Amino acid sequence: MATKILIAQKRLFGDIFVCRDCSKKIRTQAVRVIARKVKCPKCNGKSFRPVKKK
């Protein structure tokens, strides 16, 4: 059962980033966010933060 929880956490929180300007969620790789190769589809910003676990 612990494996199911780990898989669910990866699906919900892994590789999801939130735009700092407009709070739009986007799923992408962390390497691309660090290199600033990803832009927000809503506001075209390039600053993201990881999604917070509640």
Give mean pLDDT in consecutive 10-residue pieces for the chain, a chain of 54 residues: 82 91 94 95 94 82
Q: Return the pLDDT at 47.
A: 95
Q: Return the pLDDT at 12.
A: 85
Q: Return the pLDDT at 16.
A: 94
Q: Return the pLDDT at 10.
A: 85
Alpha-carbon span 13 to 51, nearest angstrom: 6
Sign of the alpha-carbon dihedral angle for 27, 31, 34, 37: negative
Alpha-carbon span 34 to 21, nearest angstrom: 17
pTM over 0.85: no
Helix (H, G, I), strand (E, B) or coil at 49: strand
Q: Return the pLDDT at 40.
A: 95
Which domain does 20 fall in, by range? 2-50
